[in-house]
């Protein structure tokens, strides 16, 4: 089995990626500092605990496992925190990625799949976003991811680092088999917060902003199922193995849902009322983020088969009702 170094492999998306890699015949080597990840999620290959800031540790792991490629998920991603403490995002996301890229190049590992974000596009209301849209991030999270994209381009020119960049829209859902799921602490994502409110684990779901220029006043997002998302990463890895060169792909469905629409669907799927509190806007939140790209389908052959709102909520609900990793 060909080893792949998966940074952040104990996290939500990383753990699903490790499962997908294992099913595709690769050996996922999880590298995670467990600051937000769960060791219980490491089920599909060896685990190496370490931080991206620790260059010596990274070099040890590259030497031990000799990965043929890197799949890089490890990052801080809380928009609110990024507005309050941008230094944390520049130090960890950008500084850590620089260490990782240099360690990979030093080990002769020159295929790199990067987890980026639609937050690099910033506020572009009324625009369905494709890969040619200008990048103008409005928070340190999006800015840090854009900086890493630029870094990959620089190292491609100087050292032949081959890379595929995936700009995600909102990721949701859970493994239908129940092996891995979403377990952030603290939780910041809409669907798990909403399900926690339904379960009584929190008093209510706070809707941050009801005065946006949208049909119901709440933010609109494009949701993609985590299993569909990681399938694209396996296709991206195969793209690099085939020598097809550097490429950027948006990963979304092209359909946006408002916060209120997500709440309505959740009440239907769970057959329970969602307790809601209306709150003020959060700094750094965009009004609408919806993908208008068909590139991943046309070039990778990727289709988000599972990415209906009903499937995403139902899979997440099943995971949370099973108590996930035990609370």
Low-confidence ranges of the chain (pLDDT < 50): none
pLDDT confidence of residue 188:
81
Task: Please give the CATH number for the structural domain made up of 190-221+254-321.
Answer: 3.90.25.10
CATH topology of domain 2-172+223-251: Rossmann fold (3.40.50)
pLDDT confidence of residue 325:
80
Q: Where in the chain is the domain with CATH 3.40.50.720?
A: 2-172+223-251
For the chain, the three-class secondary structure string (H helix, E strand, C coil) is CEEEEEECCCCHHHHHHHHHHHHCCEEEEEEECCCCCCHHHCCCCCEEECCCCCHHHHHHHHHHHCCCEEEECCCCCCHHHHHHCHHHHHHHHHHHHHHHHHHHHHCCCCEEEEEEEHHHHCCCCCCCECCCCCCCCCCHHHHHHHHHHHHHHHHHHHHCCEEEEEEECEEECCCCCCCCCCCCCCCCCHHHHHHHHHHCCCCCEEEECCCCCCCCCCCEEEEEEHHHHHHHHHHHHHHHHCCCCCEEEEECCCCEEEHHHHHHHHHHHHCCCCCEEEECCCCCCCCEECECCCHHHHHHCCCCCCCCHHHHHHHHHHHHHCCCCCC
pLDDT confidence of residue 283:
85
pLDDT, tens digit, 9 for 90 and up, residues 82-115: 999 999 999 999 999 999 999 999 999 999 999 9
Check 89, 121, 141, 223 and give the catalytic one: 141
pTM of the full predicted structure? 0.95
Q: Is residue 141 flagged as an active site residue?
A: yes
pLDDT confidence of residue 327:
52
């Amino acid at each position: 089995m060909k080893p792949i170094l998966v940074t952040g492999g104990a996290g939500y998306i990383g753990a699903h990626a490790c499962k997908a890699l294992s099913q595709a015949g690769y050996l996922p080597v999880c590298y995670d500092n467990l600051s937000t990840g769960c060791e219980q999620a490491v089920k599909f290959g060896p685990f190496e605990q370490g931080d991206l800031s620790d260059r010596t540790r990274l070099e040890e792991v590259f030497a031990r496992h000799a990965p043929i490629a890197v799949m890089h998920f490890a990052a801080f991603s809380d928009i609110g925190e990024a507005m309050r403490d941008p230094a944390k995002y520049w130090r960890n996301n950008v500084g850590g990625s620089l260490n990782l890229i240099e360690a990979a190049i030093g080990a002769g590992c020159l295929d790199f799949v990067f987890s980026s974000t639609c937050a690099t596009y910033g506020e572009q209301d009324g625009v369905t976003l494709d890969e040619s849209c200008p990048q103008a991030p409005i928070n340190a999270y999006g800015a840090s991811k854009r900086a890493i994209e630029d870094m990959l381009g620089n190292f491609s020119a100087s050292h032949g680092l081959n890379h595929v960049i995936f700009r995600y829209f909102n990721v949701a859902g859970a493994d239908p088999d129940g092996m891995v799921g979403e377990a952030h602490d603290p939780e910041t994502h809409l669907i798990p917060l909403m399900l926690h409110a339904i379960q009584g684990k929190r008093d209510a779901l706070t809707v941050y902003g009801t005065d946006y220029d949208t049909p119901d006043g709440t933010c609109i997002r494009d949701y993609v199922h985590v299993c569909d998302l990681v399938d694209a990463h396996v296709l991206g890895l195969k793209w690099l193995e085939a020598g097809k060169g550097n490429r950027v792909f948006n990963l979304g469905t092209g359909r946006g849902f408002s916060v209120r629409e997500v709440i309505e669907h959740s009440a239907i799927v769970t057959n329970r009322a969602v307790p809601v509190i209306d709150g003020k806007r959060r700094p750094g939140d965009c009004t609408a983020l919806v993908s208008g790209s068909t590139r991943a389908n046309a070039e990778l052959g990727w289709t988000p088969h599972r990415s209906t709102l009903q499937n995403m909520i139902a899979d997440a609900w099943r995971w949370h009702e099973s108590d996930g990793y035990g609370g």
